Structure 1
Amino acid sequence: MNDLLGYRGKRVIVSGCYSGMGEATAKLLLDLGADVHGLDYKPCALPLASFQQIDLRDPASIEAGVAAIGGKIDALFNCAGLPGGGAFPAMDTFAVNFAGTRHLTECVIPAMGEGGAIVSIASTGGLGWSRRIPVHMELMQTSGFDGAIAWAEAHSEHVAEGYAFSKEAVIVWTQFMCARLIKKGIRINCTLPSPTQTPMMETFHATSGKEVVDAAAEPLGRYSTAKEQAQGVALLNSGMAGIITGVVLPVDGGFMGSLATGQIDISKMMSRAKPAA
């Protein structure tokens, strides 16, 4: 098979490899010939090159995990995440989805060189980012994991239940960092999944309401699969992506296009909660 995506022999890190989109991403990368190193709170059953147990709420464990992998890293896949809606403490959700994800990325960047690539899984639940850019830009000015957490604790009115704001932050951070990183030859992008059939979906139904989640899946007519989401992130971090950076890519079966052109009844989605990925 031709190595069109350029992963054969590349050293990559996948966070959240235990289940869901992260597991599907790790499996796809293994099939594409990559040397896959996994990070997660729970052990992964895939035949990875290495696995390190980390907690994205604990910066020391993040640093130890990255150090244990060592060597040059060609690509980072930030797939770990927690749902919101009160399923977890808001600060835990914020820590895993943004503060820990950013800290992990900052630990990996020094091991990257020209051609390095980073992709994170954001969410359609973060679509409100453009309405509060000044707030997010304050967060972007913070330094390190502790700086992000301190900011969030001082601005709990913005963080709210944790999920939507943390996913907004991932989107803004992706765009904020792209011009800085491309000067080093490193790209950074993120995806916006449509509702996806993963172990987390039961929690989204309980916290956001099934009717809200279903509305975000309306154009496709079904939930996406973890494999379909893995294909999106693999494409963005691949050699075929050229100089594509700072992109917030919908992997959503037409949800964003339908929303922009008024083909989705937004009132369904606003009735109880924000859309979930």
Structure 2
Amino acid sequence: MQFSGKSIIITGAGKGIGRATAELLAARGAEIIAISRTQSDLDSLRADIGGRSIAADLASAEGARQAMAEAGTCDMLINCAGTNVLESVLDMTEEGYETVMGINLRTALICAQEFARARIAAGGEGAIVNVTSIAGHRGFQDHVCYAASKAGLEGATRVMAKELGPHGIRVVALAPTVTMTELAAEAWSDPAKSAPMMARHPAGRFAEAEDVARAIALLLSDDAAMITGAMLPVDGGFLSV
């Protein structure tokens, strides 16, 4: 129960990595404040783990700020909300760009800003985990906006760590490989695309949402007290070989 007494905001908590993380951290004692767009997902999560839930459209800056205001002052934040629009460089649209960059990058920055403001007003301390992707380190077909958003969030993580460190707030990024969520299933459903990718993983498999959730828990724990401004790959060795 290492998170007993801790309140943790998780964006994108309704599905995938966000939901697996909410379930794991709740099992380890945390009070979860789950933010997601779909009310039915929040209802089923709350039935499973309790805590609080906030339905919000994080695609808008106003929606993100309102959700964070409703969440209030908490101990930790996990920026897990994300989306993708599969477009090539030549086919990129303004709509696709705004959708991906808005949710993956702008929303994460706004949520981190509001979290940090509240923590500093309460005396400081706390931790933020920004969920990025190996797509920010390698070029994948039709992921131009997604890659830009995740690489941008890692750059912002380093700035956050520098600026928020004096207030006792740690900020880290976590970059999963392909993780078997609904979003990934759409992007990697073609065996011609997934097989070569799978072969580049020394672990011999893609990640499960629970793999990523356990790594997030590690980064939020007291065992990671000296880790800030860093990026942890959760990639089965993909980036290393």
- TM-score band w.r.t. shorter chain: 0.7 to 0.9
Q: CA deviation at 1:188?
A: 0.3
Are residues 1:40 and 2:36 paired?
yes
Match of 1:56 in 2: 58
Distance 1:56 1:128 in 2: 27
What RMSD, in angstroms, separates the aligned Cα atoms of the two structures?
A: 2.1
Q: CA deviation at 1:41?
A: 1.1
What one-letter code is carried by the residue in structure 1 that aligns with 2:51?
A: A
Distance 2:133 2:146 in 1: 9
Distance 1:234 1:27 in 2: 11
Match of 1:262 in 2: none
Cα 1:251–1:91, aligned 2, differ >3 Å: closer, same or farther? Answer: same
Structure 1 spans left out of the alignment, 5+ residues: 130-159, 259-277
Match of 1:18 in 2: 14
Q: Is the 8 A contact 2:172 2:231 kept in 1?
A: yes
Structure 2 counterparts to residues 237-248 of structure 1, below 5 A:
237-248=220-231
Match of 2:80 in 1: 79
Q: Is the 8 A contact 1:204 1:210 kept in 2?
A: no
Q: CA deviation at 1:128?
A: 5.8
What one-letter code is carried by the residue in structure 1 that aligns with 2:126?
A: G
Structure 2 counterparts to residues 197-236 of structure 1, below 5 A:
197-205=180-188, 209-211=193-195, 213-216=197-200, 218-236=201-219
Q: Is the 8 A contact 1:204 1:213 kept in 2?
A: no
Match of 2:68 in 1: 66
Cα 1:83–1:215, aligned 2, differ >3 Å: closer, same or farther? Answer: farther
What one-letter code is carried by the residue in structure 2 that aligns with 1:40?
A: S
| Residue in structure 2 matching 1:124, options 134, 147, 150 | 134
What one-letter code is carried by the residue in structure 2 that aligns with 1:52?
A: I
What one-letter code is carried by the residue in structure 1 that aligns with 2:65?
A: E
Q: CA deviation at 1:64?
A: 1.4
| Residue in structure 1 matching 2:117, options 110, 118, 126 | 110
Distance 2:124 2:224 in 1: 14
Match of 1:152 in 2: none
What one-letter code is carried by the residue in structure 1 that aligns with 2:45?
A: L
Q: CA deviation at 1:163?
A: 0.3
Q: CA deviation at 1:230?
A: 0.5
Structure 2 counterparts to residues 82-93 of structure 1, below 5 A:
82-86=83-87, 89-93=96-100
Aligned length: 222
Secondary structure of 1:52's aligned partner: strand
Cα 1:16–1:31, aligned 2, differ >3 Å: closer, same or farther? Answer: same
Q: CA deviation at 1:212?
A: 5.1
Q: Percent identity?
A: 30
User: After the TM superposition, which of the residue ranges 37-46 and 221-230 deviates more from structure 2?
Assistant: 37-46
Structure 2 counterparts to residues 254-269 of structure 1, below 5 A:
254-258=237-241
User: After the TM superposition, which of the residue ranges 37-46 and 107-116 deviates more from structure 2?
Assistant: 107-116
Deviations 1:70-125 (A, max 9, x none): 2x311001111012423971210111100111111111112224330000110110
What one-letter code is carried by the residue in structure 2 that aligns with 1:49?
A: G
Cα 1:52–1:185, aligned 2, differ >3 Å: closer, same or farther? Answer: same
Distance 2:204 2:199 in 1: 9
Deviations 1:140-167 (A, max 9, x none): xxxxxxxxxxxxxxxxxxxx84100000
Secondary structure of 2:223's aligned partner: helix
What one-letter code is carried by the residue in structure 2 that aligns with 1:31?
A: A
Q: Is the 8 A contact 1:123 1:194 kept in 2?
A: yes
Secondary structure of 2:149's aligned partner: helix
Match of 1:171 in 2: 154
Q: CA deviation at 1:222?
A: 1.1
Structure 2 spans left out of the alignment, 5+ residues: 89-94
Distance 2:27 2:59 in 1: 30
Secondary structure of 2:188's aligned partner: helix
Secondary structure of 2:164's aligned partner: helix
Q: CA deviation at 1:236?
A: 0.8
What one-letter code is carried by the residue in structure 1 that aligns with 2:177?
A: S
Distance 2:186 2:84 in 1: 7
